[in-house]
A and B are shown apart, each in its own frame.
Chain A
């Protein structure tokens, strides 16, 4: 008996000894050092960054600009989207959707900076250049998105939490330099197929043309007309090449706007007539883009009481790819730049390429007649604006367009009677203001 006891007790003590391990690795996630110092880790980070942008950031951009510039109406009432839909001083800094808009762009910027800072992990120069260019592209996209919604914002990540704010022009210039630098490192290099396969994952992602397209977009926003034209032309060098974000059913990789606008119960639906005031302009019935983007529906927005339609276009199936840019945008950028430089003939020519388009790789084909309005800069720019709104419907550019084409200012007090944008710029999110001493005063409206 004593012998038995002795074994039992010694066993109790001994069994603890080999198990005395106090360091457990996390089997559920990768560590920072593994990710940033290995090629596999950086490849995975590059995929994760694209996924974050495609699922979260893109969604936030389209949702907020769509509500503020009156492309969307809220059909099921939640406070957050309703505050944005009404806008003006109803929109408080703690609005959760604005928080997501801001933070999701900095999430992408953070991942892009991590990628750029560690590209030396790759020994092959072409691979290194591709990663660098890819990181630059996403950081520039984040900077460009923020410029659409905020007057000032930090243009790089500050881990200490007190990033300084720069003007949106400075932000756009930074985006432009990042894109130009990316095109620089890629010149003379071919994007390796291994990069295409393991990072981009699809042949429908043309890195060089995409860099040019975003360069054209931001030059256009900055008013650098000549630079915008040449970049837009480069973006159309191969008219059949396109770049898309891919989605799939499951794993949180669903087309995010499908989930909001099409899957029942939908919370947001596109406004009738592309959100134009029908008293001012009615999109002609024969415009092919009407059937491309919208389907007739008998419903009104919950608060706005404005008629809404069923969403089509890029958001009507769960795994529908979303283009990073549309070829029509590149034509319209050129048309606008020509018009603003006074070259009305060239402008109308380019505008007509959009109006009469029947061979769009995504099927965004207006199929209209050529422009026959007044040959004045105002009139031509007005038609360019209208075509931008229709051609680029709900792709996240509407608020910037509304300001750049000097559409009427937001109504005060905020009202659904007006089809104008309901704010010029957003207030800075509360999470930033509460933690960063450098946040400037909120814009008036």
Chain B
């Protein structure tokens, strides 16, 4: 740090020495290859912060007060390759026109994520995906992470709940950890931001938003995504799950531009489930030999639970500025009703981004945003999951009218342990309120040619208030229930990066960077729940406190890196970097970690030999990189200790050792990643980006189950190894490009193979009610539970005709497990009658990790019409349909298939559904979740401005999640109740299905 401080002071003193002597004026026009002027292109002098943008006619004028020869003028425009011209004169006036060439892969795009300072993608040895703000705005998604779906190679974006603004999980290049969530690090304008999903009051099943929902997608300029360790030296310790860096819009010099957009949305449930429709009930459901029936009336509660949701999105932004000051100000209001009756979400945002040029060599940027988010939630698997609107459906026989009587009392519809779903949606009150501030101060200094110093301080803080209230006298909560949770979260980061660019010779360019970071975050939460409430009273204070907690969590991290890049002839680039990090969550002996990185890229098509070699390939770049990163936040701040938690009994203070035994020697996981790939462009019309990667995570952090005879239940240990290996392919084609018609196709394909390669001979359940396991040699979270007993022909081995539990029923496989950690060791056994005998066996029955994901995006522009369509596919993964399992059980009798046994003339033996449901025959319920979805479709029309004071009018009609092609027998295979849990994926239990939504909007520019 001392060295850094010295460097800055030196830089500052030297910077002050420069004085103005002469002035150079450069002006001209920027146009595309057809000669059409390009407004808004950036024109700047390379290596300085002096720049301007072209006006509506593509014209620019650049004033350079005291340039040093040679002066390099650069022009950048999204979708075109950077154009450069070198000037020898340093004063006077120069006319300079530019013609831009298309850049279909965006290799001239300047990225900052994972690099030090701004770097063109062509120089990088690793792939970085970028997504423009427009693509997000058109996606129709509430949450910007949902909008990323299908737009990034190597990313699996899963909306885990269809609640309005329900939680979303993003996994880059597979699961890279088991113990903590494997979500990437999010950075907005240099501020490390919180994206947690904090369920302060239980609403269940991923129903609480993750906090990026607080960001107005309309404010986003672009998003850069880093996927693994090879790219990550600059974020070293926190980048093992990847980094998603978000940049918000900035103003540009010129007259104020006002943009107003307004839209309305309609959401609906895409399909409901068929439930028990049989007009009979068994007199004794438990005795399969008693076939006596009585007539009943059946009801489908889903007709009432689900409701069409209306929504509106209003946003206004003003941007502009002078030569020295730019600003972007926006405000937005978003309101959306959920598809569960009485659930909704609203968000109000205000953003002010100001850029100020302080001196010729100093720029200050201040970005601030304020958000208030509020949701009315309906628990879907709430307080102890007994009173979730959708969960309860599975535990009721659907044979009673659930409507309230004239006194407003809701009936018990069969099983009072679970609530009346109508009462839950009508009377339960759950809500979340968030008030959030995110701000950053960013100073960039260029005191000397080639030297740039950047300092950022960022602060993200929010308060979250959650409430849950279930009135006295409800079916499931006769004594009422009230709960309140408060969370205050603070994240602070300070980063200082110094970059020095210099030419070592005509052919050799060098970039040296040195940086340091300090990160601190804290959470304080308080929670209180009570029952035995007084009548009318909704607050906790009226009742008997049944739980209360107060928790403080503090964490900090320091790091520094040094990175050197050498460029040869502007076509061969090598980068070496090293980073040191220390995190407070690990013990002193294992706290400091070193992470190296090397990378290189070779733009072969720029080599002299390429000319005349493959003329049609106008760009070919090879790239490779290798690096390590860590997971310095992989365990909780105090998880390494054996904690004795306080309890109070009858006024006496007590402590109880945590069931999780501490481990003072625990150290962070290390991820090592190699990636190689190429970028290729044919005639500027077809672009291909290909990457192969191979990741290994060592010293895997695992909460390992201990024998209970140790007195504890689990301990965090560094055991084992996990690998992810995969390919990512992006093909972009400009199929038609005429003055009137422009057709672009983008195809994305990603395949990842996840394997737990070493668990130190162990194997254990990681969730999903014991169904999902980590096993050596298997992908993480495989379904490892019961399978059907089958005969030698592979047909179901049914119970014999004299079986007291009932004849001809399916049964679970039995035998001798031998070694539960080795699925191949199990031995199936049969008794003398050929029936299964021995212990119930665990057998591999499915894998929640997809074989591949892909997307196909079609964009068509015809005159004033625009059309965009995106299909997303996730193929070859299994989902445990736990809903169907409950529907099959005779305790609850609600399922369609259960009802089939009751139908007149049914040939299905009584008890078949229950035998597999109560018998937990997982094989039956682990279903293929493969789907192809029409994720987005949008049609827009740009009107001729009806009045001179309006610049543009654009109408957009769009739809989201309209169609799903799948064989899944639940609401939607794209669901996971454990939210963003790493291991437990593909587990469906009472989750809110993802809505189908339509939106009609207008955008006006002034």
Footprint of B on A, CB under 8 Å?
1-2, 5-6, 8-10, 12-13, 15-17, 19-24, 26-32, 34-35, 41, 43-52, 54, 76-77, 79, 92-94, 99, 102-103, 106-107, 109-111, 113-114, 153-154, 157-163, 198-199, 201-202, 246, 248-254, 263-265, 267, 302-303, 305, 318, 413, 415, 429, 431-432, 434-436, 442
Contacts and interface: CB of A to CB of B under 8 A. Distances in A.
Interface stretch (B124-132, B583-591, B729-737): B583-591
B558 A9 contact: no
B294 interface: no
A299 to B, nearest CB: 12
B301 interface: no
Nearest to B704: A435
A22 B548 CA distance: 29
Contact of A109 (B655, B662, B711): B711
A265 B653 CA distance: 31
13 contacts: A8-B443, A10-B8, A19-B518, A20-B518, A20-B558, A24-B554, A24-B555, A43-B653, A47-B655, A110-B711, A157-B711, A263-B479, A264-B478
B556 A21 contact: yes
B446 to A, nearest CB: 12
B566 to A, nearest CB: 28
Contact of B453 (A9, A49, A248): A9
Interface string B235-268: 0000000000000000000000000000000000
Interface in B631-648: 637-638, 641-648
A251 B645 CA distance: 13
Interface string B691-712: 0000000000000011111111
Nearest to A434: B820
A141 to B, nearest CB: 15
Contacts of B654: 44-48, 50-51
Nearest to B16: A2
A6 B456 CA distance: 14
B135 interface: no
Contacts of A16: 1, 494, 516, 518, 558
Interface stretch (B162-170, B463-471, B539-547): B539-547
Interface in B645-689: 645-659, 662
Contacts of B712: 110
B643 A106 contact: no
Interface string B38-69: 00000000000000000000000000000000
Given A109-B711, A161-B706, A1 B638 contact: no
A52 B496 CA distance: 51
A16 B493 CA distance: 9
A199 B4 CA distance: 57
B644 A29 contact: yes
Nearest to B837: A89
Nearest to B638: A26
Contact of B4 (A13, A22, A111, A153): A13
Nearest to A45: B655
Which of A103, A253, A303 is the most central at the interface, judged by chain B CB atoms within 10 Å of its CB? A103
Contacts of A52: 656
B9 interface: yes
Given A19-B518, A24-B555, A28-B552, A47 B653 contact: yes
Contacts of B648: 251, 253
B641 A6 contact: no
B937 interface: no
B657 A110 contact: yes
Nearest to B558: A20
Given A2-B16, A201-B649, A253-B650, 11 more contacts: A48-B649, A48-B657, A79-B920, A103-B713, A111-B656, A111-B657, A113-B711, A252-B546, A252-B547, A302-B891, A435-B707
A93 to B, nearest CB: 8
A47 B649 contact: yes
The 9 closest A-B pairs by CB, nearest first: A110-B711, A47-B654, A29-B643, A103-B708, A48-B654, A77-B891, A16-B518, A26-B638, A48-B656
B918 interface: yes
B638 A79 contact: no
Nearest to B804: A413
Nearest to A44: B655
Nearest to A36: B644
Contact of A10 (B5, B518, B655): B5
Interface of B: 1, 4-5, 8-9, 12, 15-16, 284, 286, 358-359, 362, 415-417, 441, 443, 445, 453, 455-457, 476, 478-479, 494, 496, 516, 518, 520, 532, 544-548, 550-556, 558, 582-584, 588, 591, 637-638, 641-659, 662, 705-713, 764, 770, 804-805, 820-821, 839-840, 891-892, 918, 920
Nearest to A4: B358
B496 A13 contact: yes
B359 A32 contact: no
Given A27-B552, A265-B417, A305-B286, A35 B709 contact: no
A317 B656 CA distance: 25
B710 A159 contact: yes
Contact of A250 (B15, B441, B544, B646): B544
A106 B710 contact: yes
B655 A2 contact: no
A434 B705 contact: yes
Contacts of A265: 416-417, 476
Contacts of B659: 107
A163 B657 CA distance: 20
A161 B5 CA distance: 52
Contacts of B820: 434
A99 B588 CA distance: 36
Which of A5, A27, A302, A435 is the most central at the interface, judged by chain B CB atoms within 10 Å of its CB? A5
A139 B554 CA distance: 37
Given A103-B708, A162-B707, A51 B656 contact: yes
Nearest to A165: B709
Nearest to A14: B5
B650 A201 contact: yes
A431 B708 contact: yes
Contacts of A254: 546
B455 A9 contact: yes
A312 B891 CA distance: 27
Nearest to B550: A28
Given A107-B711, A431-B705, A432-B709, A9 B8 contact: yes
A95 to B, nearest CB: 11
Contacts of B658: 29
A9 B659 CA distance: 47
